[in-house]
Structure 1
Amino acid sequence: MPRLIGQLLLTTLLAMLAGGCATRTAATDRLEFVVVRHAEKADDGSRDPPLSAAGEVRARALAAALDHAPLRAAYATAYRRTQATAAPAARAHGVAVATYDANRAAADFVAQLRREHRDGTVLVVGHSNTVPAIAAALCDCQVAAMGDDEFDRLLTITIDADGHATLHEGRY
């Protein structure tokens, strides 16, 4: 656990240093969805645990990774772990975290997202069993399943001016 926290702190620091000279973009003609699973959760035996210490570090790393993105909106399910994962990035950009139903069909949720957002970056925080379906519906492509121990996959779906979607997978 200490090694993971150290790695996450280093990742956060490097992201901050790399982006230190850039300024946030006020407008963009590109629409980008960043879809992630919530960060590591505490093992408190409840159905709705908070983030663990490593999860809190990861949530800050996500915020650092999105620091210079034109973040227009953030969505998370009603669970404490998803809300807490989205909160640092949303707070840094002055947007509220909107809550969406974790049981809502991915296609319906994605239709709403596409209707409501035309440009900028939109963060969506979900769960290992929902994130791949949301990303797949956004890009109309195949997205690999997500393991219960996978907390760092960053799925970015870019929609161009013609409505064509491109999926990029990374880590944060």
Structure 2
Amino acid sequence: MKRLLLAAAISALTAASAMAQTVIIVRHGEKADASADPVLSDAGQARALALAEHLNDAHPSVILTSPLQRTRLTAAPTAEHHSVTSEAVPLDGGPGPHVAAIVARVRSLPQDATVLIVGHSNTVPLIARALGYADAADMPECEYDRVTTLHLMGDAAHGMVSRYGAPSTCPAA
């Protein structure tokens, strides 16, 4: 009986130490225009729906966006599907303080949390790097289909990049 209890305790400790936060980082969908705070275009709305479908099994418990419409509108179908309220993280002070606030919020969450972050072309790579994923590539202005998925265990971050929705149409380099 003691051996069984000891084995169960060791198993529970091993499982707890193997827990990792899952952080999914995307850029907002395509914009309707070049104004300061545009809504999503038809393609952007389709991308927001595609994101919800892509994350159907991910079950985010927290969704973080910037306060701009395009990030909130991109997150909305996923938030509705999973009954989660999006949290807008202020942009006060520019990208640096915004990224720091996002990282602090992620780090404050339980080890088993799944977080969706909807950012911008200039913040998505910065957020991934700040969370420990050094391989995060810069994002061109024409790229909308990148999904960076990180698994955080302490200070270590393991990540992968995938695509969702319609392919971005960036000109060949």
TM-score class normalised by the smaller sequence: 0.7 to 0.9
- Residues 59-91 of structure 1: per-residue CA shift (max 9 Å, x gap): 000000111112101011111100000111011
CA distance in structure 1 between the partners assigned to 2:122 and 2:64 by the alignment: 16
* Residue identity matched to 1:83: R
- Return the TM-score normalized by structure 2: 0.76
* Matched residue SS, 1:116: coil
* Residue identity matched to 2:55: L
CA distance in structure 2 between the partners assigned to 1:148 and 1:140 by the alignment: 21
Which residue of 114, 130, 139 maps to 1:137? Answer: 130
1:87 aligns with 2:80: no
1:170 aligns with 2:159: no
The answer for unaligned runs of 5 or more in structure 2 is 1-17, 165-173
Shift of 1:105: 4.4
The answer for unaligned runs of 5 or more in structure 1 is 1-27
Range that drifts further, 77-86 or 28-37: 28-37
Where in structure 2 are the equivalents of 1:9-24 lying within 5 Å? none
Shift of 1:93: 0.5
* Residue identity matched to 1:144: A
* Residue identity matched to 1:40: E
Identity %, equivalent residues: 41
- Return the TM-score normalized by structure 1: 0.77
CA distance in structure 2 between the partners assigned to 1:87 and 1:165 by the alignment: 27
CA RMSD of aligned residues (A): 1.8
Structure 2 residue aligned with 1:42: 32
Which residue of 32, 48, 68 maps to 1:59? Answer: 48
- Residues 115-138 of structure 1: per-residue CA shift (max 9 Å, x gap): 124213100001001110001111
* Matched residue SS, 2:61: strand
* Matched residue SS, 2:158: strand
Range that drifts further, 117-126 or 46-55: 117-126
CA distance in structure 1 between the partners assigned to 2:101 and 2:43 by the alignment: 32
- May I ask how many residue pairs the two structures share in their alignment? 143
Shift of 1:140: 4.2
* Residue identity matched to 1:156: T
Higher radius of gyration, 1 or 2: 2
CA distance in structure 2 between the partners assigned to 1:55 and 1:75 by the alignment: 18
